[in-house]
Amino acid sequence: MIEIKNIRKKFGKLTALDNVSVSFKRGECIALLGPNGSGKTTLIKSLLGMVVPDSGTIHFDHELITGKWRYRSRLGYMPQIGRYPENMTIAQVLDMMKDIRKKEHQQYDEDLVKSFGLNNLMQKKMRTLSGGTTQKVSASLAFLFKPDVLILDEPTAGLDPLSSELLKQKIIKEKQAGKLILITSHVLSELDDLVTEVFYMQEGKLAFHKKLAVLREETGEHKLSKAIAKLMRVQEV
Amino acid sequence: MKKIFKYVLVDIVQNKIVLIYTLLLLVISLSVFNLENNASKGLLSLLNIILIIVPLICIIFSTIYIYNSAEFIELLVSQPLKRRTIWLSIFSGLSGSLCLAFFLGAGIPILLYHADPTGIIMILMGLSLTVVFVSIAMMAAGLTRDKAKGIGVSILLWLYFSLIFDALLLFLLFQFQDYPLEKIMVFVSFFNPIDLSRIQILLKMDISALMGYTGAIFREFFGNTTGIALSFAGLCAWIFFPLLTSLKKFKSKDL
């Protein structure tokens, strides 16, 4: 579904993405892992067209995305730090997004809005919200338009345990519905029952891209965190 | 395009600064027209105030607004929207609301006290000056990432167009007074939108004594009608050039 070929991106002297090639298929739930500053967010932003790569190509359903915008109606993006116009209320932000992304016969997926209890906060201004509540708004927006691909950048950071469990259940539900899901997270224990593939980046390069089952078999560990730790130790030696 | 334009317009119209700007213009124009018993004289004093205030407010407000909407722009860019649409909507929202402010604050008093071709040209000039400086602000804010630097650049640009440009021109005239500089001066005045607007009004008002050096030559060269048409064309160029430069930059910007 998504084909990334040889993309490179430099920010000044810093190389954020160094010749990364990868393809993601429908129905998979992929964990994008790697240390801070390894280029995960840059990769996601390149997919979304927010960052323009210096070279290389990205295809979405066999279509080159450079300069295109319509494909984004099939993406749902939850940013690491959601930033919204400060003077708007939650209701206004949701209405605005609905207005912008309006399609014919569009049905909205408001499961998360309901389960997070955002209905009671609708008249609050974005400026007054806590980090966690802002994350809830971001998550609700990502799922609202029933996109084919969900891109979640640190989805559970800042969420309380109850909400992050709700979000996890929602992700599992969407995965079973055959959607492609990309997640970055540093909380590996959370990803155990979610992901089917692991994509590990280091210093802007692809370190490995494996099925979770294969990874478990190779390392003999069941827990994702231990498996990754083991693999990293082997690589360092 | 219309949708985002609507959100930007509503957001700016609610802004207190724009409200204060409208009231300020209204107070100035009403008091100028009431103080002078001759409406033409009033128009002339108003012209000098407008030529300073309109560019200043427009360029600084727009620059700050663009930096403050960074989050909004980021949110929109990840949605199925063309970048061109986003940028042009912000431009039209800004120019639309500031033009509205100018029309309510200065346009209506001018129509009340001086509703003749000169007054109408003056309103048109004020509106185009507003759009020109919004466009220049888009360029300043689009080309610099840092907020403080961007606002600094805007203030310097304003200072350049309203003060430094004239000073440089006078200095050059003084230094090269032995040479025939008329043609060059006409050409040079196209490099300053404020100068162009001033010439335009004064050509229409026909007050040679107040026309300044470039104005006098302008009339000699083009006559009144062609002069006004040409200076309008110059102002249009001043709208499109900075806007298109910033659009090109925004299309490949990393957010």
Per-residue pLDDT of chain A (237 residues; tens, 9 = 90+): 889 999 999 988 888 899 889 998 888 899 998 888 888 889 999 988 889 899 999 999 888 888 888 888 889 999 888 888 888 889 999 998 888 887 776 788 888 899 999 999 999 998 899 989 999 999 999 999 889 999 999 888 888 989 989 999 999 999 888 899 999 988 888 888 888 888 888 888 888 888 888 888 888 888 888 888 888 777 766
Q: What is the mean pLDDT of residues B74-84?
A: 89
pLDDT at residue B211, as a whole number:
58
Which residues from A are below 8 Å from B253, CB to CB? Answer: 52
**B250 confidence band (pLDDT: 50, 70, 90):** very high
Partner B contacted by A96 (CB < 8 A): yes
pLDDT at residue B150, as a whole number:
93
Give pLDDT tens digits for B203-221.
Answer: 777 665 565 666 667 777 7
Q: Cβ A45–B81 below 8 Å, yes or no?
A: no
**B20 confidence band (pLDDT: 50, 70, 90):** very high
Say if strands A149-153 and A205-211 run parallel, antiparallel, or are unpaired.
unpaired
pLDDT at residue A149, as a whole number:
92
CATH for A191: 3.40.50.300
Q: Is the per-residue pLDDT at B105 higher than 90?
A: yes
Q: Cβ B254–A52 below 8 Å, yes or no?
A: yes
Q: Cβ A50–B3 below 8 Å, yes or no?
A: no
Q: Cβ A69–B80 below 8 Å, yes or no?
A: yes
pLDDT at residue B101, as a whole number:
95
Distance from C-alpha of A150 to C-alpha of B181, rounded to nearest angstrom = 65
Mutate to test the interface with A, among B1, B9, B78, B85 (most CBs of A within 10 A): B78
Query: Mean of the per-residue pLDDT values for chain B?
Result: 87
pLDDT at residue A236, as a whole number:
66
Q: Is the per-residue pLDDT at B158 higher than 70?
A: yes
Q: Is the per-residue pLDDT at B242 higher than 90?
A: yes
Which residue of chain B comes nearest to A41, CA vs CA?
Answer: B255
Q: Residue A146 — left, alpha, or beta (φ > 0 → left; ψ -120 to 50 → alpha)?
A: left
Which residues from B are below 8 Å from A43, CB to CB? Answer: none
Which residue of chain A comes nearest to B254, CA vs CA?
Answer: A51
Q: Is the per-residue pLDDT at B197 higher than 90?
A: no
Query: Pick from A11, A70, A86: which is nearest to B80 by CB?
Result: A70
| Euclidean distance between the first and the last CA atom of chain B, given in angstroms as a whole number | 20
Place of tokens 């109408």: B120
Which residue of chain A comes nearest to B67, CA vs CA?
Answer: A85
Which residues from A are below 8 Å from B81, CB to CB? Answer: 69, 72, 100
Provide the token pair at A27.
């129905």
Which letter does DSSP use for residue B158 in this model?
H
Domain that holds residue A24: 2-236
Provide the token pair at A93.
């932000």
Mean pLDDT lowest for which of A21-30, B5-14, B141-150, B200-209? B200-209
Considering its fold, how many domains does chain A have in total? Answer: 1
